[in-house]
């Protein structure tokens, strides 16, 4: 039996004035996650505090990695029966209700990530203080795993910040940084880290009444306004997911509207959501993401401090901006200041949008240094080349850079198609040239392909992966081959879409079929966004000399390059495609089987990349295609999707 003397994960310290501090430091883990044993121990702590109530209780983390990252997802993965699912939900619901009802004031002291069940624990406290520093994030991201916040989040968050803001957080999974958390009322205050402990003591002993939603936000929790808010939320969900691929979102609305956020009152809904293919597949996607994150955690590699980027075009400028945003010193080189200036302007807009605080935005911009003469080369830990896709120009640049580089500096190319073997020709130390292939737009696309050649030692690849992880991107090691992984699977997919246009289908019909399938945008809108000239170049590289689709050749002959020229498969206005008809053409107008016909070349190409060893295995391939193309996450990835369909089709039909 667990007692206060045998706790493994929690430490309770009482101070002379009666204040108690409860520190969560999960044993054997780099992060705090709520599991059956950690929650059982929390119940023991609450027993002890009931017997001898403190003047106030501060709950804090003993981890440098953050407050609590949520529930232990492995426990969700091991649920085999409806009874187990209900039991898991009841465990957290009952424990946090107990915490919320204690007689003494409680405060959650939040630094770093406070996610899922971690935020639900914090919501059960009377007060919440957040550290005013980068990395603080409060969120209920369960919907992104195909499930719902069942431990009190659907009950307490709407009461705290109002139903509209709470539903937005729960239905999108988006997090709030320290500034937004305080503005929403989710946190009582944001405090500089050095003042957190003193501020926590003062607040928890203040006898200040707990925060509650006010005004319109509070009214939205009451009938009949609640019905209107729920109706509007369902309408927005249906617009984004018309075929209901993601059932957790409407379930959250129903549980809030009809059951006060208590999922235990709707056991059938629990069973349907927890056992759904979507939940299983999104949990798979989460694990794939964690696997890619692990690629970037190379503990033996020293972090980079200075990055030098050559080429201030869209890709190079945005790579430089992102690195500076993530805290690195960056020098950005191009032929003159006139070429660098647009990149600095885009960076300033990014920092203002993302950082909100003008001081932080200014600091990030100060880390991004225009460097037309290349003075940063001798100081850089990593040099990233992002110039035009011309092998001769790249090799000439490397030969100029190599004598000026530090002995231990890494040289990287952002090439999207050229082989490392071709580019290494003429280098004195060819082994330190690696590929670090970002995707456009850099600030939004999470995946980075780390390219190595056949027979390369692991050191350069490990350093490149560590750098990718350092700037909070997902590193996917791939072997040098035309198109690597992502472009190699996108090319036949877009080619098939264009062949369908040649056969007489409208771009709207083709794209609508794939959006209904679950893709973030259709293949022809994607081609327009990438640029039809770039799509043709990639296609030529991978098509083995086949003629380009007629619809592509005709548009290129007219100078219609897609979004950047204002016209391609669509006319573009204000950065958005103009579709024909009332709302384009619906999926209902698409021929039966069109989505499968369009997606099959992508699936086949993904399988081919696994078989040829471009990626390590099928899971790596699925991860790369999901995070590099936005492939419908609810499917679990293209190869998992194909395997699941094959399994279903092989099952014998059951009699009615």
> Catalytic amino acids?
120, 142
The two structure tokens encoding residue 572 = 């573009």
For the beta carbon of residue 100, count every other beta carbon within 10 angstroms: 17
Closest to 311 measured CA to CA, from 321, 324, 303: 321
The answer to whether 137 and 114 have CB atoms below 8 angstroms apart is yes
The answer to whether 207 and 200 have CB atoms below 8 angstroms apart is no
The two structure tokens encoding residue 653 = 């039909």
For strand 576-578 and strand 571-573, is the pairing parallel, antiparallel, or unpaired? antiparallel
The answer to whether 181 and 284 have CB atoms below 8 angstroms apart is no
The answer to whether 465 and 451 have CB atoms below 8 angstroms apart is no
The answer to whether 482 and 541 have CB atoms below 8 angstroms apart is yes
Q: Measured between alpha carbons, how far is 102 from 279 in angstroms, rounded to an integer? A: 34
Q: Measured between alpha carbons, how far is 180 from 356 in angstroms, rounded to an integer? A: 10
Q: Measured between alpha carbons, how far is 485 from 318 in angstroms, rounded to an integer? A: 22
Q: Using N-to-C axis directions, what is the helix angle for 277-295 and 458-470, rounded to 10°?
A: 120
- Helix ranges (DSSP H) in 124-247: 153-161, 163-172, 178-184, 196-204, 215-219, 225-240
| Partners of 385 in the β-ladder | 310, 413
Closest to 13 measured CA to CA, from 29, 24, 28, 27: 24
Q: How far is CA 418 from CA 65, 137, 255, 435, 627, in A?
A: 39, 39, 52, 10, 22
Is the Cα dihedral 130, 55, 208, 202 positive or negative? negative
Half-sphere exposure of 388 (CA within 13 A, CB side): 5
The two structure tokens encoding residue 137 = 């994030």
The two structure tokens encoding residue 633 = 């996450």
DSSP 8-state code for residue 567: B
The two structure tokens encoding residue 593 = 């089987």
Q: Measured between alpha carbons, how far is 416 from 440 in angstroms, rounded to an integer? A: 11
Write down how long the chain is: 656
For strand 10-14 and strand 329-333, is the pairing parallel, antiparallel, or unpaired? unpaired
The answer to whether 480 and 528 have CB atoms below 8 angstroms apart is no
């Amino acid at each position: 039996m667990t007692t206060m003397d045998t706790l493994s994960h929690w430490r309770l310290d009482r101070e002379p004035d009666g204040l108690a501090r409860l520190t969560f430091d999960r044993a054997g883990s780099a992060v705090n996650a709520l599991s059956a044993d950690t929650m059982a121990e929390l119940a023991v702590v609450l027993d002890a505090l009931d017997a001898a109530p403190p003047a106030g209780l501060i709950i804090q983390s003993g981890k440098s990695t953050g407050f609590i990252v949520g529930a232990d997802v492995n426990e969700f993965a091991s649920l085999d029966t409806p009874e187990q699912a209900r039991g898991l939900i009841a465990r957290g619901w009952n424990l946090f209700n107990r915490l919320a009802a204690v007689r003494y004031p409680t405060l959650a002291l939040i630094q770093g990530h406070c996610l899922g069940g971690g935020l639900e624990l914090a919501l059960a406290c009377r007060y919440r203080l957040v550290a005013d520093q980068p990395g603080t994030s409060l969120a209920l991201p369960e919907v992104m795993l195909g499930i719902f916040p069942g431990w009190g989040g659907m009950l307490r968050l709407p009461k705290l910040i109002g139903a509209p803001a709470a539903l937005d957080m729960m239905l999108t999974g988006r997090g709030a940084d320290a500034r937004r958390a305080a503005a929403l009322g989710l946190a009582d205050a944001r405090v500089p880290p050095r003042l957190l402990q003193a501020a926590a003591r003062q607040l928890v002993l203040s006898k200040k009444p707990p925060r509650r939603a006010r005004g319109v936000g509070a009214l939205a929790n009451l009938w009949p306004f609640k019905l209107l808010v729920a109706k509007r939320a369902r309408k927005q969900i249906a617009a984004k997911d018309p075929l209901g691929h993601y059932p957790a979102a409407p379930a959250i609305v129903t549980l809030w509207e009809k059951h006060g956020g208590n999922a235990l009152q709707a056991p059938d809904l629990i069973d349907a959501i927890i056992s759904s293919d979507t939940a299983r597949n999104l949990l798979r996607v989460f694990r794939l993401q964690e696997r890619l994150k692990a690629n970037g955690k190379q503990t033996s590699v020293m972090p980079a401090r200075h990055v030098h980027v050559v080429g201030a075009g869209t890709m190079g400028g945005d790579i430089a901006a992102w690195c500076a945003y993530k805290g690195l010193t960056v020098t950005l080189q191009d032929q003159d200041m006139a070429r660098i200036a647009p990149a600095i302007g885009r960076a300033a807009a990014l920092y203002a949008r993302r950082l909100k605080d003008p001081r932080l935005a200014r600091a990030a911009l100060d880390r991004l240094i225009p460097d037309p003469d290349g003075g940063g080369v001798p100081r850089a830990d990593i040099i990233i080349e992002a110039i035009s896709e011309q092998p001769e120009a790249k090799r000439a640049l490397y030969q100029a850079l190599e004598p000026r580089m530090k002995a231990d500096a890494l040289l990287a190319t952002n090439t999207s198609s050229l082989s490392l073997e071709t580019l290494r020709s003429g280098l004195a130390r060819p082994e330190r040239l690696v590929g670090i292939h970002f995707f456009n737009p850099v600030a939004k696309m999470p995946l980075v392909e780390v390219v190595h050649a056949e027979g390369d030692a692991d050191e350069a690849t490990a350093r490149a992966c560590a750098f990718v992880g350092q700037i909070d991107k997902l590193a996917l090691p791939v072997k040098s081959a035309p198109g690597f992984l992502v472009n190699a699977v996108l090319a036949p997919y877009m080619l098939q879409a264009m062949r369908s246009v040649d056969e007489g289908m409208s771009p709207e019909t083709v794209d609508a079929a794939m959006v209904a399938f679950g893709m973030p945008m259709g293949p022809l809108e994607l081609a327009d966004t990438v640029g039809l000239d770039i799509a043709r170049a990639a296609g030529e590289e991978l098509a083995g000399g086949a003629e380009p689709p007629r619809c592509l050749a005709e548009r290129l002959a007219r100078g219609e390059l897609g979004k950047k020229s204002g016209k391609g498969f669509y006319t573009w206005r204000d950065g958005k495609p103009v579709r024909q008809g009332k709302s384009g053409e619906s999926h209902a107008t698409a021929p039966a089987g069109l989505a499968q016909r369009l997606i099959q070349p992508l699936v086949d190409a993904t399988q081919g990349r696994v078989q040829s060893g471009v990626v390590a295995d099928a899971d790596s391939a699925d991860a790369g295609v999901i995070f590099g193309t936005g492939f419908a996450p609810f499917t679990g990835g293209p190869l998992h999707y194909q395997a699941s369909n094959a399994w279903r089709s092989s099952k014998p039909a059951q009699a009615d």
